[in-house]
Homo-oligomer: A and B are copies of this chain.
């Protein structure tokens, strides 16, 4: 709930950007909470400073709003990731930092995770339509690629690492940890999701990833 900076619409002044932004913020939260068909346009409207009329005015229909909300969610999260600068770190530390960051970042952005879950339920058909999103994510892989490249040059990483697979693995842990928390803790209890355990899990994952990129060692 950011204090609307440039837009304190006192009394009553037009401010299209603020209105759009307001709608999108609420939309993300509603869609993330209730899914595409579970969300009511009227509910979104009522949580907004504006009216349902404006939703249709700016976003056409429910699907248009959903797609925009999806993009907004991706954008916000990828922005957070961009703040991470790893190039000045040695490869192993850089990778460790990246993994730990990803783990935490996912935890901090449950709405984003939920939007992705929902999009997966819908077979990513709306995401596919968004070039914006594709570009952002490819950029994320490049960061990983660069670390891998440096690591291999310096001989601290093994050859033949596929950055995409690495990304897949890092994501798997970090994503699952948030996405499946409800069922997991309904079945096995909440223990794994308390702070202490989460720290340990994060460390475990960092170690696992590092082991995976290291020179192979025969295990007895």
The contact sample of 15 A-B pairs, CB cut-off 8 A, is A35-B35, A35-B38, A117-B117, A119-B182, A119-B183, A120-B182, A123-B182, A134-B187, A138-B188, A141-B188, A164-B192, A165-B201, A167-B188, A172-B172, A175-B180
Q: How many copies does the complex hold?
A: 2
| A102 vs chain B, min Cβ distance (A) | 13
Chain A contact residues, CB within 8 Å of chain B: 34-38, 114, 116-124, 127-128, 133-134, 137-138, 141, 164-165, 167-169, 171-173, 175-177, 179-188, 191-192, 201, 204, 208, 210-212, 214-215, 217, 219-220
Q: Which of the residues B116, B172, B181 comes within 8 Å of A183, measured between beta carbons?
A: B116
- CB contact between A173 and one of B127, B172, B191 (< 8 Å): that residue: B172
A36-B38, A127-B187 given; A212·B208 CB < 8 A = yes
**If the complex has contacts A37-B34, A215-B220, are A120 and B180 also in contact, measured as CB distance less than 8 A?**
yes
In the complex, what's the smallest C-beta–C-beta distance from A113 to chain B, in angstroms?
Answer: 10
CA distance A211 to B171 in the complex (A): 20
